[in-house]
Structure 1
Amino acid sequence: MFLAIVSCKDKVNTSRANEVVSGQGHPKLILTKQGVLDIKKALGTVPIFDASLSATKAEVDAEIEEGIDVPVPKDLSGGYTHERHKRNFLMLQKAGVLFQILDNDKYAIYVRDMLMAYAKLYPTLPVHPQTRSYARGKLFWQCLNDSNWLVYTAQAYDCVYEWLSEKDRNILENDLFIPFAKFISEGNPQFFNRVHNHSTWGNVAVGMLALVIDNDELLENALIGLKVDNLKAGMKDNDGGLIQVEGQKLGFYGNLDEPFSPDGYYNEGPYYQRYAMYPFLIFAQALQNVKPELKVLEYKDGVLLKAVNALINLTDANGNFFPLNDGQKGMSYYTDALVSAVDIAYYYGGKNPELLSIAKKQNKVVLDDTGLSVAMGVKAGLELPFQKKSINLSDGKNGDEGGVGVLRSHGLELVYKYASQGSSHGHYDKLSFSLYENGNEVIQDYGLSRFVNIEQKGGGNYLKENKTWAKQTIAHNTLSVNGQNHFKGKFEIGSKHHSELYFYNDEQPNVQIISATEDNAYPGTKMLRTFALVKDGDFEKPFVIDLLKVKSLTKNQYDLPYYYLGHIMKTNFEYNSFSQLKPLGKNNGYQHLWNEALGKPTEDYTVFSWKNNNLFYTLTTTSSKADQLILARIGANDPEYNLRKDPSFILRRKDVKNTTFASVIESHGSYSPVSELALNAYSHLSSLKIILDNEDYTAIELITKSNKSKVFILSNKDNSKDKNHNIKIGDKNYNWIGAYYYR
């Protein structure tokens, strides 16, 4: 049996898990018998836990008063039947927990009666009437949501298992649970047997039930996937995601191996990492309790615990996840999935006091052993601030498929994506970036095109504009060549390639820097893009240097957009606004951009300033008189108003092979609508120019308004930290050690 031979080479702190005795009866998945005793002893003495319990009790009591409703499924996301079944599984899990903690039979009766209603309904159900999904469920329009249901209801079943009669258990298992598990696995191998967040939920759903009913066959399927001979290698789902490739590990362990890098970054991006963390961690917790010999939290050097730390580091100052790839803005670590993740990571990961500060902000805990531990730590005042510093997270199974870097300094956060494709949720945006200040977007990434669970908008699912706009290269702050997408916008090509880290250095707090290359997005064209977040006493705040060097075998049109947010203040160029708007192009996302105005540089540097959130920002970029400066706005060819009408400033350079874009982004000054006073509303720069640009080095000079010269030099070929460089520019010698120079 597979279960007896899983081993781990590396160790993390899971000493708490090893205290649990296997075979202790029920509950045993998330709550344990000993844990319930500990919770009961602590009731009334641990404020956050008590408040979480009280809120849960009030919610479930209200549902019990309303009565049980198990409707025949018919709706997509956001519709009544979808939301009712979703509400039911959440209430079932909570009611089961309340039964264990409060010893009140009304909660067990509620769980039993609802599960019996499902056991009566389920055998009568065909596949869901909505046909949108590649793997239709029965309760829901897709197997993904059916799996959500089973992950939660398995926990409820565990909590009332010993209270139920043997007759009731036989009915529930034979008429509901086992057929349910087999439908989402054996009945839908194209859903169950792949590497994707969908499959993680499916694997965990089957695995959680297997642990409750001690079914080794179901557990083996959950852990390593189905043995399906007739599933074609390379088969794709309707999102373009690979279902199975030859020799690929599948099941729960496959989904741990492939998407996670050794740093804990999940290749689909933080939005879907957040979504997947609940099943990953809740199943890991259950396995630690029931099958501690598997040591699942030690797997891949403790990657699941690292993933929690990575996720928190992929949030802005307000706790919102950066919208890399498909990601809805506003999703944050206040979501229940991260409450659970923080509690589990604290309990099993060495009780890091910094996690307590996140839990304190969340102001609620999970009602189990892990939540009690966190609540007691907060009560004891053990928390320390979570230090979100600059970080570089590798991507790929082995950490060698690019990555995501976050540079942080004095409220500014620059997010640089040079990662792999990111599975079916990936966007075509190599070397793209976004910029935040104090949790507010300055230069934005659009995120996804979807109104999640809002029925009026496409049934709450992905809109067609997600493919025609949000995934397109021009929709991001990165280079578009000849109006085309990276990798021609094809998943099959993009999934074969990734950008490469050139170097990352956060050792000097005044100059934090990250640089990466991309050689495959456009065959014959190579890009090297470098970002430096610089703290300099001659500037009010840290500023960003953006250096993009392009080499190509052919002459091209280069478009470099900046999706700023706010109101234009000032430019140093004149532009003509169009009285009749036309799209900027016909395809590849350009069809969704209104061409609002067109300008030409009047100097060898271009200045573009705007105001947002009562702060001022200026983009200064080197330019030539042949460049075009485009003021664009999202929203063309959008008859159903599915897109936000956000602005963009696009630098267009035509008919050139090799070129370098050198830019500086400053945050400066403020405006008070109360005093009606604008302070420091203008850029600190009087000019910006490229003073050297060859195969070996690129150098730019910044001249401040006080006539001080600042020089930044990048070594384009040698990224060694120890290399001694000595070059002459004009009549001045520059000598330094390492890949860059700034003074």
Structure 2
Amino acid sequence: MTLNKKTIIGLFLSVLMLGSMLSCKAQNETTSKKEVESSSDGHPKLIITKAGVEEIRKNLGNIPIFDASLQMAKEEVDAEIAAGIDTPIPKDFSGGYTHVRHKRNFFMLEKAGLLYQILDDEKYAKYVKDMFFQYAAMYKDLPVHPQTRSYARGKLFWQCLNDSNWLVYASQGYDCIYEYLTPEERETLEADLFRPFADYISIGNPKFYNRVHNHSTWGNAAVGMIALVMDDDELLQRALYGIENDGLDPNEKDNDGGFIKDPEGRAGFLANLEEPFSPDGYYTEGPYYQRYAMYPFLIFSEALNNAKPELKIFEHKDGVLLKAVNALLNLSDADGDFFPLNDGQKGMSYYSKELVTAVDIAYLHGGRDPGLLSIAKKQNRVLLDDSGLAIALGIKNGETKPFKKESINLSDGPNGEQGGVAVLRNEGIEVVFKYAAQGLSHGHYDKLSFSLYEDGQEVIQDYGLARFVNIEQKGGGNYLKENKTWAKQTIAHNTVIQNESSHFQGKYSIGSKHHSELDFYDFSKENIKVVSAHEANAYPGTVLTRTMAVISDDDFEKPFVLDLMRVTSDKANQYDFPYYYLGQIMETNFEYTTPKMLEPLGTKHGYQHLFVEGRGQANQQNIKLSWMNAGRFHTLTTVAGAEDDVLLTRIGADDPEFNLRKEPALMLRKSKAKDAVFASIIESHGSYSPVSENAVNSHSNIAELEVVYNDVDYTAVNIKDLQGKTKLFVVCNSNTSKDAKHEIEVNGNTVQWTGSYDFK
């Protein structure tokens, strides 16, 4: 392919790109190659438009949230202008000075460009222009970044991913000052900076650019954004459909363990819209990386919508991008923090800049949902563009309504057939149940795992990732080795581990071929929310089936969680089942011994990172553990056999650099069992005030939990409270049709019901 091909429009472009069209023939109708006409309606035209600028100027001073956002940006950029432009020679990892400086610069390029358009103050255009020419002078002789950790090294940054970040934001700044520059100045910047930059992150790094991953989404968006500013159709085609004849094997893996391309060998922005998103808008890598990817997905789509409306990008795959915003907001707790499924840093929330972008753009192009205005009000800032103006006017006009989070089931996989994630919500209790696909290279080996929240507070936690993002002292701000040896391993999650080996042996090549299967879910009743799924491939010859319910009962202070994990196997195994509770133990009902010297629980698959702080054995039918955290009490009651072991563990073994959080777990162990049922209830109850020093309702309300029926077709448990009242929960293990009629005998009584489960 000729690297400096001139812009060709209309039918000539279609003829020129015929070979590319043939190579993409496997794409479905929505992703087929389209003739893209050049746009020459003037600038700005990407995120902020000429018409948008006029409307913003008309309303300034009368749109409080927009005015405040504008003032914040002005103060920030003015301070940078006063300090002077610095474009240091790159040398650092994330968190180091050169990395942070270049990152700061690309944010300023975008913000200063917007300020120029809105305020019509030439000093902002000059600042952007001067910085661009400083980068142009540097870039033409800039070598590859000296840090060698990445599989695709950038030039300004240690990885092409961050270089792509730079170009996405810089493109917006260039669009805003395009008409301020002379034709000669534009020609210089495009020849010395923008075109070489786009070529380097794409043609120069096909393993980075031509894949299905959030990395390549950023790369595709970067090339596409600058293409739209420059009216470069060849670059735009490269952004939408990837590099032709890249020489890569579609089955090749990158250094993160992910496939280079999707199963049909496609690449480019549209392929990244197809494969990772389910029809429900769930992004297979998990909410943390969905949040990160939503910025390039939406900002490039906004630009395409404005500059190339004929592509109808927001209608692609039945409007999946707009669905994705709703899905992502529903994957956050009561405080707006995203659930840390797969690699995910705790505390990342919908207050991030990416979600400001997502909410604003989704509001403008998704039917102006008034619920999004309530999220925008909490974020307390908007984009300085057309979508931010729409949000500001909606809030000003009193159109805000609450964004309601209810129980939701989100499918995974491009066709919604690769498992999924369910969130069960009831009176402040949230259960996050993961039965999804592997999640590409950021996935963890934790089929049928769960975490539990109460009013935004973790009760049973998912560890998240092992990384201190952008903190230089900790591995240059990058992933730590403990992310693979601990955080990804099954033992780090609240699910069953067989024979001290992670699901799929902890191998991506195996895990990426499989996913769990949904059996049923039911959110239709006020008092109970239920989901059930099974996993048949984590261990050969073993099937795991887990049913989780959040149940509201008048005899309990708060809704409680019922957890049934059923294991069937073709041979006897050791089964470990941890619960990673957060807080201080209040009491137990079992005897245990504590060692004088702490020893690791095992040697591999994450077991090497667990200290054993206590060992006990089940001495009665139920094991109980009560703990307190954040002024609230919680109790785990679980059915146990006489031979079952109980381990009190703590994360932190084999961790000489103290990279792991030292957090506890209770682990149930069945040493020699072919089939097993782990039945548990988790209660939230009572409170403690350090001011009044008063403990209220600090004890469990469960008198007894008993498995009263279990065979290939049904599993049933009796729940007896302290008042002597008994409730029966029964779940179907085979025929889970909602219309099927069932009958069993339990303790001499006939139980009949219709549907997948019964609670009475």
Structure 1 and Structure 2 fold alike (TM over 0.5):
yes
Instruction: Give ranges in structure 1 of 5+ residues lacking alignment.
Output: 11-20
Per-residue CA distance 1:414-445 (angstroms, 9 max, x = gap): 00000000000000000000000000000000
- Cα distance in 2 for residues equivalent to 1:446 and 1:581: 22
Query: 2: CA distance between counterparts of 1:603 and 1:244?
Result: 54
> 2: CA distance between counterparts of 1:702 and 1:268?
37
Flag the 1:154–1:448 CA change in 2: closer, same or farther, 3 A: same
- 1:455 partner amino acid: E
Aligned match of 1:14: none
Confirm or deny: 8 A CA contact 2:291 2:354 kept in the other structure: yes
- 8 Å contact 2:206–2:246 — kept in the other structure? no
- The 1:626/1:395 distance shift into structure 2, 3 A limit, reads same
Q: In structure 2, what residue type is equivalent to 1:52?
A: S
The residue number in structure 1 matching 2:314 is: 297
Offset of residue 234 of structure 1: 1.6
The answer to whether the Cα contact below 8 Å between 2:277 and 2:413 also exists between their aligned partners in 1 is yes
Matching residue of 1:537 = 554
Say whether 1:315 aligns with 2:348: no
| Residue 746 (structure 2) pairs with residue 735 (structure 1) | no
Q: Distance in 2 between matches of 1:46 and 1:229?
A: 49
* One of 492, 501, 519 as aligned partner of 2:518: 501
2:237 maps to what in 1? 220
- Which whole-Å CA distance do the structure 1 matches of 2:39 and 2:548 have between them? 52
Residues 492 and 641 of structure 1: CA distance in aligned 2, closer, same or farther (over 3 Å): same
Amino acid at match of 2:64: P
Aligned partner of 1:484 among 501, 504, 512: 501
The code of the aligned residue for 2:51 comes to Q
| Within-5 A mapping of 1:128-167 | 128-167=145-184
2:208 — aligned with what? 191
Match of 1:257 in 2: 274
Root mean square deviation, CA, Å: 1.5
SS in 2 for 1:522: coil
Q: How far is the alpha carbon of 1:228 from its aligned partner? A: 2.2
Q: Does 1:232 align with 2:270?
A: no
Q: Residue type of the partner of 2:660?
A: L
Cα gap change, 1:126 to 1:369, in 2 (>3 Å): same
1:566 matches 2:588 = no
| Residue identity matched to 1:266 | Y
SS in 2 for 1:374: helix
User: Taking structure 1 as reference, are residues 676 and 429 closer, same or farther at Cα in structure 2, changes over 3 Å only?
Assistant: same
Shift of 1:249: 1.8
> Aligned residue pairs: how many?
735
CA drift of 1:8 comes to 9.5
- In 2, distance between residues paired with 1:353 and 1:494? 40
Separation (CA, whole Å) in 1 of partners of 2:416 and 2:546: 20
1:610 CA drift (Å): 0.5
| Contact persistence 2:356–2:383 (CA under 8 A) | yes
Partner of 1:587: 604
Aligned to 1:426: 443
Moved over 4 A (4+): 1-10
Do 1:671 and 1:677's aligned partners in 2 also have CA atoms closer than 8 Å?
yes
CA distance in 2, matches of 1:544, 1:244: 40
Structure-to-structure mapping, 1:283-682, within 5 angstroms: 283-682=300-699
**Cα displacement string for residues 465-493 of structure 1 (whole angstroms, at most 9, x for unaligned residues):** 00000000000001000000100000010
Residues 258 and 441, structure 2, Cα contact 8 Å, conserved in 1: yes
Q: Does the CA-based 8 Å contact 1:450-1:463 persist in structure 2?
A: yes
| 1:276 and 2:276 matched | no
Which position in structure 1 is the counterpart of 2:34?
none
The answer (yes or no) to whether the contact 2:165–2:222 under 8 Å persists in 1 is yes
Q: Which SS does the other structure have where 1:699 is aligned?
A: strand
**Alpha-carbon contact 1:9-1:301 (below 8 Å) kept:** no
TM-score (norm 1): 0.98
Letter in 1 for 2:390: S
Deviations 1:375-408 (A, max 9, x none): 1101111111000000000000000000000000
Aligned with 2:728 (options 688, 711, 728): 711
Question: Alignment partner of 1:492: what SS?
Answer: helix
Give the SS at the match of 1:161.
Answer: helix
Structure 2: how far apart are the matches of 1:210 and 1:382? 37
Cα offsets for 1:164-195 (capped at 9, x unmatched) = 01111111000000000000000000000000
| TM-score (structure 2 length as normaliser) | 0.95
Match of 1:247 in 2: 264
Structure 1 contact 596–631 (Cα < 8 Å) conserved = yes
For 2:702 and 2:89, locate their aligned partners in 1 and report how far apart those are by CA, in whole Å.
65
Aligned to 2:4: none
Contact 2:262 2:275 in 1 (8 A): no
Q: CA deviation at 1:232?
A: 2.0
Per-residue deviation at 1:727?
1.5
Residue 110 of structure 2 aligns to a residue whose secondary structure is: helix
2:262·2:271 contact (CA, 8 Å) conserved in 1?
no
In the TM superposition, residue 635 of structure 1 has moved relative to its aligned partner by 0.2
Q: How far 1:231 sits from its partner (Å)?
A: 1.4
Give 1:246 deviation, angstroms: 6.0
Q: Deviations over 1:173-232 (max 9, x none)?
A: 000000000000000000000000000000000000000001111000000100025212
Contact in 2 for aligned 1:248/1:254 (Cα 8 Å): no
Q: Which secondary structure state, in structure 2, belongs to the residue aligned with residue 619 of structure 1? A: strand
Aligned to 1:71, what secondary structure does the other structure show?
coil
1:53 Cα offset (Å): 0.2
Task: Note the C-alpha offset of 1:245.
Answer: 5.5
Counterpart contact for 1:8–1:298, Cα < 8 Å? no
Residue identity matched to 1:416: F
Name 1:96's counterpart in structure 2.
113
> CA, structure 1 residues 245+397, in 2 after alignment: closer, same or farther (shift >3 Å)?
closer
Give the distance between the partners of 2:49 and 2:301, measured in 1 at CA. Answer: 14
C-alpha deviation, 1:9, in angstroms? 7.7
Q: 1:176 aligns with which of 189, 193, 209?
A: 193
- C-alpha offsets along residues 12-40 of structure 1, whole Å, 9 cap, x if unaligned? xxxxxxxxx95320000111100000000
Q: State the secondary structure of the residue aligned to 1:28.
A: coil
Distance 2:672 2:165 in 1: 53
Contact 1:607/1:619 (8 A) holds in 2 = yes
Report the Cα distance in structure 1 between the residues aligned to 2:391 and 2:489, rounded to whole angstroms.
42
2:102 is the alignment partner of 1:85: yes
User: What is the aligned partner in structure 1 of residue 57 from structure 2?
Assistant: 40
- Partners of 1:511 and 1:245 in 2: CA distance: 39
Structure 2 contact 63–396 (Cα < 8 Å) conserved: yes
Identity %: 63
Whether 1:696 aligns to 2:713 is: yes
CA distance in structure 2 between the partners assigned to 1:735 and 1:206 by the alignment: 62
Q: Secondary structure at the match of 1:578?
A: coil
Letter in 1 for 2:58: K
Q: Is the 8 A contact 1:549 1:661 kept in 2?
A: yes
CA contact (8 A) 1:356 1:384 kept: yes
SS of alignment partner, residue 599 of structure 2:
strand
Measure how far apart 1:248 and its partner are: 2.3
Aligned-partner SS, 1:372: helix
SS in 1 for 2:438: coil
